[in-house]
Amino acid sequence: MSSPQVSTRIEDPASVDAAITSRFSARAFLPRPVPRETIEGILDVARRAPSGTNTQPWKVYVLQGASRDALVDKVCAAHDAIYADPSLAAEYREEWDYYPERWVSPYIERRRENGWGLYGLLGIARGEKDRMHAQHQRNYRFFDAPVGFMFTIDRVLGRGSLMDCAMFLQNVMVAARARGLHTCPQAAWNGYWKIVLPHIGAGEDEMLVCGMSLGWADESAPVNGFHTPREPVQSFTRWLD
């Protein structure tokens, strides 16, 4: 007797593909609330993500209302303090190296294209540091999304658990799209883990993986017209016969 996972047929593959391909990092959200049952439904689907030996290493903290707003205030204050005194940046370093210490081609070109493409759309010119700072701080306001996620794993775990958590994150984002919602995964929070982890009540053995904004995208916001390109399949695939 086959299990439901084996016997289930996908009757509308186009909708599955659309949920994946319409996902993008939304950077402007409406204040419209997201019902708790919708969030729980997303997480219920996402938990089917694979993980090495079924360790399921992810932990999720959902911030709404006062808890969300209080964290925004704390981290924005720290972000402003660093802008005023860059020497304070040493107090806020990521626990794990999301980005490389040295950028090489083609990754540095893609990174620059992303950054200047976004700033160009917003009319932020090179050297406009105040406007760049304000736009970067939008991360710490969850881009006005009513829901913020924080994802953690136990520090004792290995790098493979970060990959497991990443697959869980993708499930969250795709399940959100299936419900008409949008998301923005955010590594920007990682440098402020000393503020985030106590605020959400995480244990001392937990490490912040990233944050994420969730909500209804503001379709009228120009910034949501910024969609990054993807390399064609043939550029990253090798067929071996």
Per-residue pLDDT of the chain (241 residues; tens, 9 = 90+): 567 788 888 999 999 999 999 999 999 999 999 999 999 999 999 999 999 999 999 999 999 999 999 999 999 999 999 999 999 999 999 999 999 999 999 999 999 999 999 999 999 999 999 999 999 999 999 999 999 999 999 999 999 999 999 999 999 999 999 999 999 999 999 999 999 999 999 999 999 999 999 999 999 999 999 999 999 999 999 999 9
Could you tell me the sign of the dihedral formed by the alpha carbons of 127, 130, 133, 134, in that order?
negative
**Is residue 190 domain-resident?**
yes
Q: Residue 71 gets which letter from DSSP? A: H
The pLDDT score that the predictor gives to residue 1 is 58
The pLDDT score that the predictor gives to residue 5 is 80
The pLDDT score that the predictor gives to residue 105 is 97
**Is residue 78 domain-resident?**
yes
Tokens of 199: 């605020």
Q: Domain tally for the chain?
A: 1
**Is residue 61 domain-resident?**
yes
**Is residue 106 domain-resident?**
no
**Is residue 64 domain-resident?**
yes
Residue 135 CA to residue 189 CA, distance in Å, equals 14
**Is residue 212 domain-resident?**
yes
Q: Which domain holds residue 165?
A: 14-85+140-226
From 81, 75, 78, 45, select the one nearest 60 (Cα to Cα): 45
**Is residue 123 domain-resident?**
no
Residue 146 CA to residue 25 CA, distance in Å, equals 15
Q: Could you give the angle at which helices 65-84 and 193-200 cross, rounded to 10 degrees?
A: 160
Q: Are strands 206-215 and 147-154 parallel, antiparallel or unpaired?
A: antiparallel
CATH number at residue 191: 3.40.109.10
**Is residue 56 domain-resident?**
yes
